[in-house]
Amino acid sequence: MSKAAEIANRLAALDTGNMFGNDFFLTWDKTDDEIAAVFAVADALRDLRENNKSCRIFDSGLGISVFRDNSTRTRFSFASACNLLGLDVRDLDEGKSQIAHGETVRETANMVSYMADVIGIRDDMYIGCGHTYQKTVSDAVHDGYSSGVLEQCPTLVNLQCDIDHPTQAMADMLHVIHEFGGVENLKGKKVAMTWAYSPSYGKPLSVPQGVIGLFTRFGMDVVLAHPEGYDVMDDCIEVARRNARASGGSFSISSSMDEAFRDADIVYPKSWAPFAAMEKRTKLYQAGDLEGIKALEKELLAQNATHMDWECTEEKMAITKAGKALYLHCLPADISGVSCESGEVASSVFDRYRVPLYREASFKPYIIAAMIFLAKVKEPAGTIRALEAANRPRKLF
């Protein structure tokens, strides 16, 4: 039996009915079966492509991308995912659209969606805004579809918001699953999701929040570590605690990077801004207070500089499990002596894990494609089997 066929058999046993026709906002809104289905479809699509079999389930259609923050990996992952499934991609540049002239979100959402099958949105900069904006777009296109304006209802995929970064967290987890030889081997593994020093400020909280919100579902012992004052959202902490209780794992918070790294199987040192500061920043931007923003930036950079010892060094890696913890990062990392004078990770550590990091990133296009696939296909297992049986070559020569 082929790998894709074996995956299809596992997929058939999962309840994915509620994913059809729906959006993907937050991982903790999805059931265990639905999370497992995303991983299964991602692996199946990758296997088909690696064996030169077309994964196209669309003959035409659009994927609309909206990036309200800079992006490299997620932008191209979304484009790759849409192309893999047969969709063309167009980026909505708000500065070149009628949005700049006062067009409403609801109007824009419908105007760009006439032949769109998916909308991917990254809006992660402002607390209380990103997830709300994505919901507004989703509500608008659902209204357009139910009113007969749109022939199909585009699926919305959260490419990162102020709360969660589901495509990143799920790509990270699928990488972990493969590195440890299966999801059944994750129970009891220690994960250190730690803050790390950066010479910049304002990095979103959605990566650490996404990681603790997902990894705690697999019976792992997850530690969130950060200096005093670098708290994440309380709601996300509660999600992590609830997941840990349900999975038989644990979740704890530490103010010591060394404590988190000690005997860890997986480390994820990543800078983020304090939740309170991000709230303040959002209010300053809403008020148009540019001087206030400059003052806040100066304050936060000075605050960061008092914690320059929060760096993933060779010494810290040496106290992990057998000195060989799996190092994760969403990229780009602030590499000491390379991209900055002092940063999140020592260059020797980063260089040693460069290939695994690239492999980690390679799962994201397939995760996004799987989210779209499950929202657009009523019988996902049967469709995987049909794609394999059709044996349409991706490359013709």
One domain for residues 182 and 300: yes
The answer to whether residue 123 sits within a structural domain is yes
Q: Confidence band (pLDDT; 50, 70, 90) for 101?
A: very low
- The CA distance from 260 to 35, in Å, is 27
Only one residue has tokens 């969709």, namely 87
Task: Tell me the C-alpha distance between 356 and 171, whole Å.
Answer: 13
User: Do 272 and 346 have their domain in common?
Assistant: yes
Q: Alpha carbon 319 to chain centroid distance?
A: 28
Question: Would you say the C-alpha torsion 195, 200, 204, 207 has a positive or negative sign?
Answer: negative
CA nearest to 155, candidates 128, 130, 137:
137
Same domain? For 201 and 346 the reply is yes
Q: What mean pLDDT comes out for the span 89-111?
A: 78
Average pLDDT of the segment spanning 121-146? 95
**Gyration radius of the chain's alpha carbons:** 21
Q: What is the pLDDT of residues 200-234, one digit of tens each?
A: 988 999 999 999 999 999 999 999 999 999 999 99
What pLDDT sits at residue 102?
Answer: 59
pLDDT of residue 100 exceeding 70 = no
* Sequence letter at residue 275: F
Provide the token pair at 168.
């990143």
Examine residue 21 and state whether it is found in any structural domain, yes or no: yes
Residues 120 and 187 in one domain: no
Alpha-carbon distance 306 to 294, whole Å? 19
Q: What confidence category does residue 94 fall into, taking pLDDT thresholds of 50, 70 and 90?
A: confident
Q: What is the pLDDT of residues 307-341, one digit of tens each?
A: 999 999 999 999 999 999 999 999 999 999 999 99
For the entire predicted model, the pTM comes to 0.96
Domain match, 354 and 373 both: no
Domain assignment present for residue 397? The answer is no
Q: With respect to residue 395, please indicate whether it lies within any of the assigned structural domains.
A: no
Closest CA to 47 of 7, 9, 77, 89: 7
Instruction: Indicate whether 76 and 96 sit together in one domain.
Output: yes
What is the spatial distance between Cα 375 and Cα 14, in angstroms, rounded to a whole number?
15
Reduced to 3 states (helix: H, G, I; strand: E, B; else coil), residue 340 is strand
User: 379 or 126: which carries more pLDDT confidence?
Assistant: 379
Does 309 lie in the same domain as 194? yes
On whether both 327 and 300 belong to a single domain, the answer is yes
In a domain, 105, yes or no: yes
- The whole-number pLDDT of residue 95 equals 65
Query: With contact defined as beta carbons under 8 Å apart, do 52 and 395 qualify?
Result: yes
Max Cα distance, the chain (Å): 64
pLDDT at res. 198: 96
Q: Is the pLDDT of residue 161 over 60?
A: yes
Question: What is the Cα–Cα distance from 82 to 91, expressed in whole angstroms?
Answer: 12
Instruction: Indicate whether 97 pLDDT > 70.
Output: no
Structure tokens, 50: 């690696």
CATH of the domain at 269: 3.40.50.1370
* Residues 208 and 343 both lie in one domain: yes
- Given a cut of 70, whether residue 61 has pLDDT beyond it is yes
The total of structural domains in the chain comes to 2
What pLDDT, on a 0 to 100 scale, did the predictor assign at position 258? 98
Q: Is the per-residue pLDDT at 99 higher than 70?
A: no
111 and 227 share one domain: no
Query: Closest by alpha carbon to 157, among 242, 243, 30?
Result: 30
DSSP H helices, 180-217, are 206-215
Pairing, β 62-67 against β 116-123: parallel
| Mean pLDDT over the full length of the chain | 95
Burial of 308 (0-12, 13-18, 19+ CB in 10 A): middle
Length of the chain equals 397
Residue 9 covered by a domain: yes
Specify the residue for token string 């609830």: 242
DSSP 153-173: -PEEEEEEESS--HHHHHHHH
Residue 106 forms part of a structural domain: yes
Exposure string for 92-105, b = 16+ CB within 10 A, e = fewer: beeeeeeeeeeeee
Could you tell me the CA-to-CA distances from 299 to 276, 304, 305, 355 in Å, in that order? 13, 9, 10, 36
Confidence of residue 389 (pLDDT cuts 50, 70, 90): very high
H/E run at residue 375: helix 364-376
Least confident of 30-39, 50-59, 104-113, 239-248: 104-113
| pLDDT confidence tier of residue 397, bands split at 50, 70 and 90 | confident
Query: CB neighbours (10 Å) of residue 209?
Result: 29
- pLDDT above 90 covers what percent of the chain? 93
At 10, the pLDDT band (50, 70, 90 cuts) reads: very high
Q: How confident is the model at residue 7 (pLDDT cuts 50, 70, 90)?
A: very high
Whether residue 191 has pLDDT greater than 80:
yes
12 and 137 within one domain:
yes
pLDDT at 98: 54
CA distance 24 to 58: 19
Q: Are residues 214 and 155 in the same domain?
A: no
Query: Domain containing 89: what range?
Result: 3-164+364-390
Q: What pLDDT does residue 70 have?
A: 85
- Tell me whether residue 352 is in a domain: yes
